[in-house]
Structure 1
């Protein structure tokens, strides 16, 4: 049996999402429409095409639950919106103090996963707000700073991007995170070399976009 077309999948995801938003739907109806194991996949599909209405709906779902796992799932997905302005709202929210310190970095994941523009936006935001983020995490475990660094550069795959990361942390050293930053740089450079090799190989074609960032 062939898979349904992408448009049909998106429509079905939107239909199920509306069940979650329906105040008259019972918990059982909501669970049947969106089983726990499918929530993240559904959120991602909805948010990749989301405008302000769906964005606000997701934020409403976040506010309506006290379940930490459910909140983290929303944080990881809400930044997938194609809207630069809405992604900026997500990033501002991340460092507003409204989120638990141990969880705030999850919001960067959706922004960087939204595509090239989202990655560039998230990394620029991190650099522009580095002093504030560093202050936020002054007494926290170094692992939290490592996490936000990783999530704000997730998907980077060019030597130029690696150089920008390296230059930034040379100018703004984080001794407690130096090992994780070194690992990150190694990973980005390895991916860049692999991507360049694929671009130069017979595997590359006009049908495949190997653009890097």
Structure 2
């Protein structure tokens, strides 16, 4: 059945509503309907929708969209100032603001007029709409720019998801597509600068170290912000992470001073930052920590981060170690997950490994669920239709029991390929034109 997305446009102080079923692959029902244009609706794909609207200095009203009454798709309000539709996300819909209205939303976010629940709802909806082609990607970038200094971890969860997806698309655009390589490189650099501009004020506020009695929000936010800034290569964070890592390694392997060890909440963030921007020395230190550790969760953090090096030889060492007797079968997926998130080159290394070892992989991983996971991440990060054909041909020739996971992965490739074909150049142009 699904659920609706409600598009809102403004003509003066007249709001017009148009609903259609939301589909995550960006396709549309053949019977997209809008009473405003008198197009026939498809039975079952229209909903009665109660919507609360806030406008004009916190004045509120409730509006009911009735599929049987065309007049319910138009409403008059005194002013567009401060307009917010579906505050608190009380109705189960996605809200699509037109460009003019979205500019007003941007200003409200920048000036701190919205609470975390509404900030989350807005960015979550617009990310989904942009990735399905209903919202121009340039408008999404502008909206993300309004979240500089965002202070709540639930909002950053959504921002991190959306921006990680954009990062993946840009990485894939640099390898498999005919985009200008220099342009893509500049776009990635500017995207990282935007990321840093958004996250740096947050780290400056909450700092690296927890204080007694701090809010749980800050405790949850700190490792995420360090991970983000580390992933983008923000120099002060990379240097601090490496300094803390060096002290931690000495404390664990030599002195035994627990006070010098990294607090558990920050270990994965710091390990990951060091390995992304580290060398063989960092890799060897992670291996030593793994061999020293007796805690299962600590071992999993280390295994994941062993999958993050940028150097090809270190990635091969990571695979060799991961498949050795030193790593339990049920833990091997962690390093492969690191490969998926590290870079486009790492994803291709993982795909090649899976292809070369497909016969032994079920036994190497030890369970059907882990096999499904690894088969999925080995190919789902691709974003080109030619890759989709290659992946489909391989799985047709090498059928596995995890058919649903493979089918979903191929669908993900199609979706990402469609996104790049549709919005790739606009995204690159938007980021290249940005001045920080």
TM-score of the aligned structures, taking structure 2 as reference length: 0.43
Shift of 1:7: 1.2
Paired with 1:153 and 1:64, the residues of 2 have a C-alpha distance of: 33
Residue 155 of structure 1 pairs with residue 386 of structure 2? no
> What pairs up with 1:10-21 in 2 under 5 angstroms?
10-21=238-249
Residue 181 of structure 1 pairs with residue 423 of structure 2? no
Q: Give the corresponding residue for 1:91.
A: 319
1:145 to 365, 371, 376: 371
Shift of 1:206: 7.2
Shift of 1:183: 0.9
Residue 41 of structure 1 pairs with residue 237 of structure 2? no
The alignment yields a C-alpha RMSD, in angstroms, of 2.1
* 8 A contact 1:156–1:188 mirrored in 2: yes
Provide Cα deviations, 1:81-120, integer angstroms capped at 9, x if missing partner. 1110110111122222331111111111222322111111
Which segments of 5 or more consecutive residues in structure 1 lack a partner in the other structure? 209-213
Q: Give the corresponding residue for 1:124.
A: 352
Paired with 2:380 and 2:244, the residues of 1 have a C-alpha distance of: 29
4+ aligned runs moved over 3 Å, structure 1? none
1:29 to 228, 238, 260: 260
Q: Is the partner of 1:153 in helix, strand or coil?
A: coil
Q: Give the corresponding residue for 1:205.
A: 429
Provide Cα deviations, 1:104-152, integer angstroms capped at 9, x if missing partner. 1111122232211111111101111112213435xx4311210111232
Paired with 1:113 and 1:106, the residues of 2 have a C-alpha distance of: 11
Q: Which is helix-richer, 1 or 2? A: 1
Residue 195 of structure 1 pairs with residue 420 of structure 2? yes
Q: Give the corresponding residue for 2:396.
A: 170
> What pairs up with 1:51-70 in 2 under 5 angstroms?
51-70=279-298
Higher relative contact order (CA 8 A, sep 6+): 1
* 8 A contact 1:14–1:46 mirrored in 2: yes
* 8 A contact 1:95–1:104 mirrored in 2: yes
> Higher Cα Rg: structure 1 or 2?
2
Residue 9 of structure 1 pairs with residue 240 of structure 2? no
Q: Which is strand-richer, 1 or 2? A: 2
Q: Give the corresponding residue for 1:211.
A: none
* 8 A contact 1:13–1:45 mirrored in 2: yes
Shift of 1:200: 4.4
Q: Is the partner of 1:186 in helix, strand or coil?
A: helix
Q: 1:97 to 1:159 in 2, by over 3 A?
A: farther
Shift of 1:75: 0.8
